[in-house]
Amino acid sequence: MTPAVFGISGPSLTAAERSFFRDCDPAGYIIFGRNIESKAQLRALTDALRAVHGRDDLAILIDQEGGRVARMQEPVWPKFPAGEIFDKLYDIAPATAIEAARLNAQAIAVSLREVGITVDCLPLLDVRQPDADNVIGDRALGSEPMRVAALGRAILDGLQRGGVVGVVKHLPGHGRTSVDTHKALPTVTASDEELQLDLAPFQTLNQAPMGMTGHLLFTAWDAENPSTLSKTVVQDIIRDRIGFDGLLFTDDLDMEALSGTVPERAARAQAAGCDIALNCWAKMDDMIGIVERLAPMSDKTRQRLDQAMATIAESRSAGSADELDGLLARRDGLIAAAA
């Protein structure tokens, strides 16, 4: 198995993609708006991906956070709120905010499960910082680490109850970013002591089954390599200090925060200790290059992948409209009662 997650070019597999994916056997796939036309079409696409591999437990990812990051859009799917709403609700009624976040995440998961998506890149555990770039902004669950952790735990639980694996992001913390990593590499000059604030939510939830790196340069830890490509950050900070032993994805390797070709970035990320190279844009040349540059999936990475997918193996969620409507009604009732 190739330790990579790839994007797909359109709403259905091309013949070239089907052949390539069958041969290289990637760890999974990620869905974007370009892959979505309707519920029936999206379910057919995810079923086709499972058929290529003959794996019911195939990792099929999406960024369905709510707010401005949502690949599945109205009117076909509900509009889910950004993380900030639960942070504000926490100011009024902490227990209500936690339960509302759990119900919201479970509702997201039910909508994903209906169309065959098994992994959501949520929750963000990035601690919001003043004067940082707005790429995180209202997506964050707050600026106080234990609040972020409490809401993040509820989201992981809700996703799992709905039959979807959650991915904590962006390790070791994206809250201090000065620029959008899609466009440039941010340099974080905070001290090791100051950065403990950023690490705290990840340490609290270090048993999460999956996580994702962020492409930031932390001068306190490695002044030359962004975290995704830094053995020091991946091994010493993420694995050892945070204590995260789940499946570790890179953030999208096509982002301009990173230098070199996409296949070179994938190889450097693997050498640093990342489990899975994430390449979102379905450029065949890049995908071929990644397969050529990566070593085969290690036994440890395969174990982490299998353990993560096993957490939803016995989900009782049917992904039905009635189930979704009930969860949304309960969530909205909690939010209204606390307002």
Q: Which residues are tagged catalytic?
A: 182, 251
φ, ψ for residue 45 (rounded to 5)?
Answer: -65, -45
The encoded tokens of residue 195 equal: 């950065």
Pairing of strands 69-70, 64-66: antiparallel
Give the C-alpha separation, 104 to 115, whole Å.
18
Give the C-alpha separation, 287 to 8, whole Å.
11
Amino acid at 251: D
Give the C-alpha separation, 266 to 106, whole Å.
32
Q: Give yes or no for a contact between 57 and 313, defined as CB atoms under 8 angstroms apart.
A: yes
The encoded tokens of residue 60 equal: 């099929």
DSSP three-state, residue 210:
strand
What are the CA-CA distances from residue 96 to residues 90, 100, 149, 158, 179 (Å)?
A: 7, 6, 15, 14, 34
Q: Give yes or no for a contact between 319 and 163, defined as CB atoms under 8 angstroms apart.
A: yes
Contacts of 135 (CB under 8 A, 6+ apart): 174, 177, 179, 180, 181, 182
Give the C-alpha separation, 129 to 82, whole Å.
17
